Structure 1
Amino acid sequence: MIRKTALGTVFLLTIVYILSFVDRQIIAVLGTQIRDSLNLTNFQIGLLYGPVFSVIYAFAGIPMGRIADKTSRIVMICIGLAIWSLMTVLSGFAASFTFLVTARLLVGISQAMLSPAVYSYLADRFSEKDRATVFSVYASGIFIGIGLSFLAGGTISLNYDWQTAMIAAGVPGLILAPIVWFLIKEPERTKEYAPEMGSTVQEIQNILSNRSIRWHLAGFSFLACTGYTILGFAGNIFNDVYSRPDLTAQFGWFMFGVGAMVMISGKTADYLARKNAARRYWMGVVAALAGLPFYLFGLFAEDAGMAFFLIGTGVLFSSSYNGVAAALIQYYVNPGQRALTGGIYLFVISIAGFGLGPPVTGWLTDAVFSGRYAVSSAILTVMLICSAGAASSFIRAMALYQKDAIVRT
């Protein structure tokens, strides 16, 4: 049974994660207003939302994980929170593209300090049998944050301006950073941390030599491709297919539902593990396959309202994997490798998910498919391939789990 004080810690870290995604997503929500105000191009806005943040975030995660395995994780979390919140506030005063690029780079670097440190902290703080549940509560912050960025950020910008919305997105983090510093304490490192580790490259090679880890990363990378794709092209569906751009903003409501599904998925995974720990991977299979019927009918529905409901329902299933994914990989490594492993996981799903899914979908839409449902056909093609790849990867990981896992609880 998880103690109330421990639950309070998870709750506080989840709020930090929520704020990280509000600040991460806010550029997309305010993109058109920023573009018109600073005379930018759509390409420049795309750079700010995508590569300027995601590439530096992905690559910074590995060294940040290495540092978190050797230093105070709480210090890293608080410093990261303070920096990205300050950069978001300062972005509200930006008068040039260069300033925004610099701020977004610093947001990416500082946010890379968060999850590797949190993954390691939670794995130390909670027993193996509760990890999927705890990690899923934390991961629910992804979708709560995205939902809030659409709803709160969009509302503030409509009633005031994008500068006010940007400042409002960053201020809560500046307030929360000292609270986290005061309330959350670094747990004592066990003797398992004592052995001297090799270089970062050697440690990465050691981690990736585990067959189950490779299948784990492959499976959840496939799922990340589907997640980034639907988030990236939901606006295209409602605008290009149905001429209902208003539904794009309302799509944010489904993100709160996804947050709940992430927690349900984690709790179910820990329940399934009572008889066989490898069965946690079944929640990955569910995420890969359960949403497909909803996407199949929703992407090609005649009615916009029906499409909105079916696609949103598909997202509830296909994005439910996040907490289970982050928890499961921790069972394969020693405590001294946990944060670094978290950094590798974030690197792989960020590069594979953001770097492959959306570009391939865009190319299929422009070059392969045509007609009213071109974007729908492109999205479904990517989803079918990724779902098959994810499900087969998880089945393989389940078969190898008992041989490769260090902790089999």
Structure 2
Amino acid sequence: MEFNRPEIADTLALKRRGLTLALLTLTYFFSFMDRQILAILLEAIKADLKLSDTQLGLLSGLVFAIFYATLGIPIARLADRTSRKRIIAISLAVWSVMTAMSGLAQNFTQLMLARIGVGVGEAGAGPPSHSIIADLYPPEKRASAMAIYSLGVLLGGGLGMMIGGVVAHAYNWRVAMMVVGLPGVILAAIVWLFLAEPRRGLSDAQRAMETPAMPSLGEGIAAMWRNPAALYLVVAVTLTSLVGYALTGWGPSYMQRSLGMSMLDVSKYVALPAAIIGSSSALLGGVAADRAAKRHGLHAQSWVVAVFKLIAFPFAVGFYFVDDPRIALASYFIAALFAGAYLGPSFALIQHLAPIKLRSVWAALTLLVINLVGLGLGPFLVGRLSDAMQPTYGAQSLRWAMLCVALLTPVAIFAYWRAGALMKQAVDRK
């Protein structure tokens, strides 16, 4: 049929790219809502199941991240060869069911197994989504598209906390898990039916011609290792994620323990404003990065992130030195206004640097490191430090544990600057 001709399929994929981006963003939203709902429920779960901060840190990070990150590689490899939208739809259904099943857990082991299930499901969404977006949007528009996609992180995490807290206050934490998890099954069916599957390299036609053969996984890893700009980007986004996951995973508990807020207060007065401000930051970062790229070159996108993070840093640290909830939250929101700007440019640059036929694999490799180190160690490290500091600092041990992790931010700022410098040097040599 005429509609099977490649040029017709390409036209349709590009015509529907707005819908595709919206569905991928909504999927990412559900991913982070299901992942981050645990943050607002930690204190309730701790009291119900009699858990330590170390156990809570494991549930928030490491046990989820190990499966989420490591399974991302083989699934991404499959996504580079088969239907990406089907992988995304199936993954969404799996993690949604497992989130709902978390509400049935009666002890640490059962809850841990449910969280592993969530990690297994979510492993299949990120890399194929990055690959599809890179195929639908050219380099000069990719950071903005990735920024829109990244709204799922900020809105999903924020609304997950808000919905989870309100439902848990009215009923209990178990009902909250089910309310957040089950609607994802419906979205999975919609994704299966309506998400576009673009031709690989559609927005990079010339580069697609340069890589006719499918490289091996080993070649993909070696290619990333040989690219110093990509390595610095991975270091930068990993450290940023470590600090971010530590804050989002333990922030509600810190607000309850050290600032005297209730779970309902955090849900009503922090979660939604933080989601809106963080989303504005992500969009601002994407637009600023694309404008900088048009004026100075793609390397400038990395420098834009470094500047935004430098502005946010003193306010992020100040959050832990103030006891007045109003002043502390003001500092927290100002930091959030700039801190979320890294999302779109970081992943867009990784996709720009990646070989066309290894985009899912490079995204998975990036997410592997981000999630093993950032998500896996961030919340766990805070929990472990909090338990270790408890004999000295008592109820304030969580405050100092979170501050220790936040002080890694300057290293991430340097890595973003260095990545931009290396990209510029590579262009200047050509």
Structure 1 length-normalised TM: 0.89
Sort the Cα spacing of 1:73 and 1:160 in 2 relative to 1 into closer, same or farther, 3 A. Answer: same
For residues 361 and 107 of structure 1, the distance between their equivalents in structure 2, rounded to whole angstroms, comes to 22
In structure 1, which of residues 157, 161, 167 is the aligned counterpart of residue 178 of structure 2?
A: 167
The CA deviation string for residues 110-144 of structure 1, in whole angstroms up to 9 with x for no partner, is 10100100000000011111100000101111111
In structure 1, which of residues 319, 324, 327 is the aligned counterpart of residue 348 of structure 2?
A: 327
Is residue 108 of structure 2 the alignment partner of residue 90 of structure 1?
A: no
- C-alpha deviation, 1:45, in angstroms: 4.2
- C-alpha deviation, 1:241, in angstroms: 3.4
Secondary structure class of the residue paired with 1:277: coil
Secondary structure class of the residue paired with 1:299: helix
- C-alpha deviation, 1:268, in angstroms: 1.0
Identity %: 32
Aligned residue in 1 for 2:260: 243
Aligned residue in 1 for 2:4: none
The residue type equivalent to 1:214 in the other structure is L
For residues 97 and 378 of structure 1, the distance between their equivalents in structure 2, rounded to whole angstroms, comes to 23
- Check the 8 A contact 1:286/1:317 in 2, yes or no: no
The residue type equivalent to 1:401 in the other structure is M
- Check the 8 A contact 1:234/1:248 in 2, yes or no: no
Aligned residue in 1 for 2:278: 258
Aligned residue in 2 for 1:196: 214
Aligned residue in 1 for 2:244: 227
For residues 105 and 360 of structure 2, the distance between their equivalents in structure 1, rounded to whole angstroms, comes to 34
Aligned residue in 1 for 2:372: 351
In structure 1, which of residues 57, 62, 71 is the aligned counterpart of residue 82 of structure 2?
A: 71
Residues 132-211 of structure 1 aligned to structure 2 (within 5 Å): 132-190=143-201, 192=209, 194-198=212-216, 200-211=217-228
- What are the ranges of 5 or more consecutive residues in structure 1 without an aligned counterpart? none
Secondary structure class of the residue paired with 2:182: helix
Sort the Cα spacing of 1:158 and 1:240 in 2 relative to 1 into closer, same or farther, 3 A. Answer: closer
The CA deviation string for residues 97-121 of structure 1, in whole angstroms up to 9 with x for no partner, is 4443333222111101001000000
Residues 38-77 of structure 1 aligned to structure 2 (within 5 Å): 43-77=54-88
In structure 1, which of residues 100, 103, 118 is the aligned counterpart of residue 111 of structure 2?
A: 100
Sort the Cα spacing of 1:363 and 1:31 in 2 relative to 1 into closer, same or farther, 3 A. Answer: closer
How many corresponding residue pairs?
A: 403
The CA deviation string for residues 7-27 of structure 1, in whole angstroms up to 9 with x for no partner, is 222111111111111111223
Q: Which segment is superposed worse, 40-49 or 200-209?
A: 40-49
For residues 302 and 395 of structure 1, the distance between their equivalents in structure 2, rounded to whole angstroms, comes to 34
For residues 101 and 237 of structure 2, the distance between their equivalents in structure 1, rounded to whole angstroms, comes to 35
The residue type equivalent to 1:265 in the other structure is G
Sort the Cα spacing of 1:189 and 1:218 in 2 relative to 1 into closer, same or farther, 3 A. Answer: closer
Sort the Cα spacing of 1:80 and 1:281 in 2 relative to 1 into closer, same or farther, 3 A. Answer: same
Q: Which segment is superposed worse, 287-296 or 146-155?
A: 287-296
The residue type equivalent to 1:354 in the other structure is L
The residue type equivalent to 1:70 in the other structure is R
- Check the 8 A contact 2:61/2:380 in 1, yes or no: no
Secondary structure class of the residue paired with 2:294: coil
Secondary structure class of the residue paired with 2:275: helix
- Check the 8 A contact 1:88/1:166 in 2, yes or no: yes
The residue type equivalent to 1:259 in the other structure is S
The residue type equivalent to 2:93 in the other structure is A
Sort the Cα spacing of 1:205 and 1:297 in 2 relative to 1 into closer, same or farther, 3 A. Answer: same
In structure 1, which of residues 206, 213, 220 is the aligned counterpart of residue 230 of structure 2?
A: 213
- Check the 8 A contact 2:243/2:406 in 1, yes or no: yes
The CA deviation string for residues 44-79 of structure 1, in whole angstroms up to 9 with x for no partner, is 444332222111111112222211111111011011
The CA deviation string for residues 350-379 of structure 1, in whole angstroms up to 9 with x for no partner, is 222234444555566645985887655554
In structure 2, which of residues 294, 310, 313 is the aligned counterpart of residue 274 of structure 1?
A: 294
- Check the 8 A contact 2:385/2:401 in 1, yes or no: yes
For residues 302 and 23 of structure 1, the distance between their equivalents in structure 2, rounded to whole angstroms, comes to 30
For residues 41 and 66 of structure 1, the distance between their equivalents in structure 2, rounded to whole angstroms, comes to 38
Secondary structure class of the residue paired with 1:135: helix
Is residue 309 of structure 2 the alignment partner of residue 288 of structure 1?
A: yes
- Check the 8 A contact 1:223/1:288 in 2, yes or no: no
In structure 2, which of residues 412, 415, 422 is the aligned counterpart of residue 390 of structure 1?
A: 412
For residues 383 and 46 of structure 1, the distance between their equivalents in structure 2, rounded to whole angstroms, comes to 16
Aligned residue in 2 for 1:126: 137
- Check the 8 A contact 1:12/1:180 in 2, yes or no: yes
For residues 288 and 169 of structure 2, the distance between their equivalents in structure 1, rounded to whole angstroms, comes to 40
- Check the 8 A contact 2:320/2:399 in 1, yes or no: yes
- Check the 8 A contact 2:57/2:379 in 1, yes or no: no
- Check the 8 A contact 1:82/1:173 in 2, yes or no: yes
- What are the ranges of 5 or more consecutive residues in structure 2 without an aligned counterpart? 1-12, 202-207
The residue type equivalent to 1:20 in the other structure is S
Q: Which segment is superposed worse, 224-233 or 345-354?
A: 224-233
